[in-house]
A and B are shown apart, each in its own frame.
Chain A
Amino acid sequence: MASDRIFGLVMAIVALAYIASATQIQTSFLSDPVGPKTFPILIGVVCAISALFMVFKPDPEPDWPVLRTFGAIFFAVIVLVTYAYLLKPLGFLLPTAIAAGVLSFQISPKVKTAVLSGLGLSIGLFILFKYALDLGLVPFPKSWMG
């Protein structure tokens, strides 16, 4: 109940903001009868209506996990974002081993398997991508390679 209402409300506000910013789209002098604003505004309106439906006719509450699981998912997101930033400067092997290991630990909390799957995945995927599929991956940070 409550989650549908909250999500519906958030989406309705987003839809209104979307409509508002759609009205700000610049039209060029060479325009067709519809123009670049109409369709986005239309979508925003339908979106707002469906979102309001969610607010007033919510479904039963889904099974939300406990707070700690949310923490775990949030942590996974942080790991992935960090991974995205480190992939280029640090090369493929190191960040992949760490990120894969952390995710593995989060799915099944055993240190040994996590370390092994992190190392295995990083090396295995590197060999697969680099040699079998011929993608241009850099294994280590550039500074190490001299």
Chain B
Amino acid sequence: MDVITNLAMGFSVALSPYTLMLAVIGCFIGTIVGALPGLGPSNGVAILIPITFSLGLDATSSLVLMTAVYYGAMYGGRISSILLNIPGDEPALMTTLDGYPMAKAGKAGDALVLSGVASFYGAMFATLGLMFLAPLLARIAYVFGPAEYFALYMLAFTTLGGLASNNQAKSALAACLGLAIAMVGVDNSSGMPRLTGGNLHLFDGIDFLVAIVGLFAVAEVFFFIESHGKSSSMGVTLDKVRIPWRDIIMTRWTMFRAAIVGFIAGILPGAGASLGSFLAYMSEKSIAGEKGGFGTGVSKGVAAPEAGNNAAAGGALVPMLTLGVPGSGTTAVLLALLMTLNITPGPTLFTERPEMVWGLIASLLIANVVLLLMNVPMVKVFVKVLMVPPWILLPGVTMVSFVGIYSLTGSYFDLLLMIGFGVLGYILRKLDIPTVPVILGILLGGHMEDALRRAMVISDGDYLYLLSSPIAIVLWIAAVLGFIAPMFLRNILRKPQAITD
């Protein structure tokens, strides 16, 4: 078995004391990042990337650290959902539906432990899935030529827009905005500056990290100024924490089904964790039927979205590592990390850098166990973190963003750009225009154009070449369906609204 030898090699990397320490630190920071309202996973990972980069860690170490943060944030998101009824990130929204009523009924401890176990279950399932599926997909990805990649990028943009937003035109606009920004700078193949307006600072293009930190972190500050931090109401208090064995055993099949649903949703390029937790919750709700009491604080309603969410988080790593196409907002940020580290994700990653890929997978397995240990007995520590008031947290986040970007690029111009992106992010989110497609566009724009141009070089300008292989045709059909289908499904698959007191 290849997998076992590879995994053994992975563990030999992951179990070195230094890597292990990074994984544990990553888990701890990640859980805090996920738990703090107003600092979701994409946000947290985004502001940590410049810092990690200026620390000068090598590629494997930074990747282990940041994916541990990513997994940790997925765990942490549930804490504020359950206790404060504020989802730490979008996928955690589904957890509030039953988690908060459960906490109000005096079972906050049970809900936290149960959701922690469900998170573990989902994440473990997904990591194992990643382990077996990613090498297979990497083998398929070898036959991908530029035409297939172009179609795949199309698919990522259309499904991301189609599923994550409420208005196709707005998500298409967001994707175009990102792609348009990616075009700025010197053109790779002709060596001519494009769309720089003669500004020398723009010749290198716009750094995606600047855009990400601006759109996510700085924009968040403006939102808090608008609300005066009022959204962070004090929720339910937590008194005793014990392990609710009965609930855990009762929800075992729920977790299993939710993990499968979540994993599949995560693999779809562009769909991501929000869809995973949403589908997991909705499918369990329909299985349980009317008398299942979903929405009133039942344990299955807490276990399903958490298992689904964490499984999707792991699943989203599959397309990110094998094809270089992220499956969610946070994996888009992780892709930015890979690009900063000069690692090109794709099938060759598995053959050229096996120690990195398998070290990462082994670290994820370890991180998951660490996270379970951290999140069940030590959950009270993280609950304390929720007490950090927004008037310390948000200025802190801003200052960390500034220092991070400044130490990375050392230019005022980038700081100003970052503030500009912050304002843009505020306006976009106000108008309900998703920001994740913007990020994806900035990250993938260059690759997408390259794929198109290489395809045209091969075919000598014949545009039908884009549809010349069965894989490409399937991807195009999926892309078109992914864009159109949600327009009709939107009335059927309406998102449940968050509960208000």
Digit string of B151-182 for contact with A (CB within 8 Å is 1, else 0)? 00000000000000011011011001101100
Inter-chain CA distance A49–B176, complex, in Å, is: 10
Q: Decide: B399 and A99 in contact? CB cutoff 8 A.
A: yes
Asked whether A107 and B399 contact (CB < 8 A) given A4-B431, A40-B195, A121-B392, the answer is: no
Q: How many residues of B contact A (CB 8 A)?
A: 63
Restricting to B370-405, which residues have a CB under 8 Å from any CB of A? 389-392, 394-396, 398-400, 402-403
Binds A, one of B104-112, B224-232, B355-363: B224-232
By beta carbon, the residue of chain B nearest A55 is B169
Indicate whether B247 reaches chain A with its CB closer than 8 angstroms: no
Q: Hey, which chain A residues are within 8 Å of B28, CB to CB?
A: none
Indicate whether B461 reaches chain A with its CB closer than 8 angstroms: yes
By beta carbon, the residue of chain B nearest A62 is B430
Digit string of B174-207 for contact with A (CB within 8 Å is 1, else 0)? 0011011001000101111011010000000000
Asked whether A59 and B416 contact (CB < 8 A) given A36-B190, A77-B423, A96-B399, the answer is: no
Instruction: With both chains docked as a complex, state the minimum distance between the C-beta of A132 and any C-beta of chain B, in angstroms.
Output: 10
Q: Decide: B430 and A137 in contact? CB cutoff 8 A.
A: no
Q: Hey, which chain A residues are within 8 Å of B169, CB to CB?
A: 50, 53-54, 57
Determine which of B177, B389, B456 lies in contact with A33 in the assembled complex, contact meaning CB atoms within 8 Å: B456
Restricting to A15-50, which residues have a CB under 8 Å from any CB of B? 15, 18, 21-22, 25-28, 30-36, 39-40, 43-44, 46-47, 49-50
Q: Hey, which chain B residues are within 8 Å of A46, CB to CB?
A: 172, 176
Indicate whether A9 reaches chain B with its CB closer than 8 angstroms: no
By beta carbon, the residue of chain B nearest A65 is B226
Inter-chain CA distance A107–B448, complex, in Å, is: 41
Q: Decide: B457 and A7 in contact? CB cutoff 8 A.
A: no
Q: Decide: A108 and B55 in contact? CB cutoff 8 A.
A: no
Q: Hey, which chain A residues are within 8 Å of B391, CB to CB?
A: 104-105, 107-108, 110, 113-114, 117
Instruction: With both chains docked as a complex, state the minimum distance between the C-beta of B454 and any C-beta of chain A, in angstroms.
Output: 8
Q: Decide: B166 and A59 in contact? CB cutoff 8 A.
A: yes
Asked whether A107 and B173 contact (CB < 8 A) given A28-B191, A30-B190, A36-B189, the answer is: no
Inter-chain CA distance A117–B448, complex, in Å, is: 45
Interface of chain A: mostly helix, strand, loop or mixed: helix
Determine which of B218, B403, B430 lies in contact with A129 in the assembled complex, contact meaning CB atoms within 8 Å: B403
Restricting to B209-248, which residues have a CB under 8 Å from any CB of A? 218, 221-222, 224-226, 228-229
Q: Decide: B432 and A33 in contact? CB cutoff 8 A.
A: no
Q: Hey, which chain A residues are within 8 Å of B221, CB to CB?
A: 76, 103
Instruction: With both chains docked as a complex, state the minimum distance between the C-beta of B57 and any C-beta of chain A, in angstroms.
Output: 11
Digit string of A66-93 for contact with B (CB within 8 Å is 1, else 0)? 0001001100110011011101100010
Inter-chain CA distance A117–B173, complex, in Å, is: 39
Q: Decide: B54 and A3 in contact? CB cutoff 8 A.
A: no
Residue from the set A3, A106, A125 with the largest chain B CB neighbour count within 10 Å: A106
Q: Hey, which chain A residues are within 8 Å of B226, CB to CB?
A: 65, 69, 72-73
Indicate whether B415 reaches chain A with its CB closer than 8 angstroms: yes
Instruction: With both chains docked as a complex, state the minimum distance between the C-beta of A107 and any C-beta of chain B, in angstroms.
Output: 4
Determine which of A27, A28, A33 lies in contact with B460 in the assembled complex, contact meaning CB atoms within 8 Å: A33
Q: Decide: A32 and B457 in contact? CB cutoff 8 A.
A: yes
Q: Hey, which chain A residues are within 8 Å of B190, CB to CB?
A: 26-28, 30-31, 35-36
Q: Decide: A47 and B180 in contact? CB cutoff 8 A.
A: yes
Q: Decide: A103 and B398 in contact? CB cutoff 8 A.
A: yes
By beta carbon, the residue of chain A nearest B229 is A107
Instruction: With both chains docked as a complex, state the minimum distance between the C-beta of A46 and any C-beta of chain B, in angstroms.
Output: 5
Q: Decide: A80 and B187 in contact? CB cutoff 8 A.
A: no
10 CB contacts below 8 A, A to B, read: A33-B453, A50-B169, A51-B173, A59-B167, A77-B422, A77-B423, A84-B419, A100-B395, A104-B391, A118-B395
Residues on A lying within 8 angstroms of B by beta carbon are 3-4, 7, 11, 15, 18, 21-22, 25-28, 30-36, 39-40, 43-44, 46-47, 49-51, 53-54, 57, 59, 62, 64-65, 69, 72-73, 76-77, 80-81, 83-85, 87-88, 92, 96, 99-101, 103-110, 113-114, 117-118, 120-122, 125, 129, 133-137
Residues on B lying within 8 angstroms of A by beta carbon are 51, 54-55, 166-167, 169-170, 172-173, 176-177, 179-180, 183, 187, 189-192, 194-195, 197, 218, 221-222, 224-226, 228-229, 389-392, 394-396, 398-400, 402-403, 406-407, 412, 415-416, 419, 422-423, 426-427, 430-432, 448-449, 452-453, 456-457, 460-461
Known: A34-B461, A103-B394, A129-B403. 12 other contacts (CB 8 A): A22-B183, A31-B189, A33-B453, A34-B452, A39-B448, A46-B172, A59-B166, A72-B226, A84-B415, A92-B403, A103-B221, A107-B390
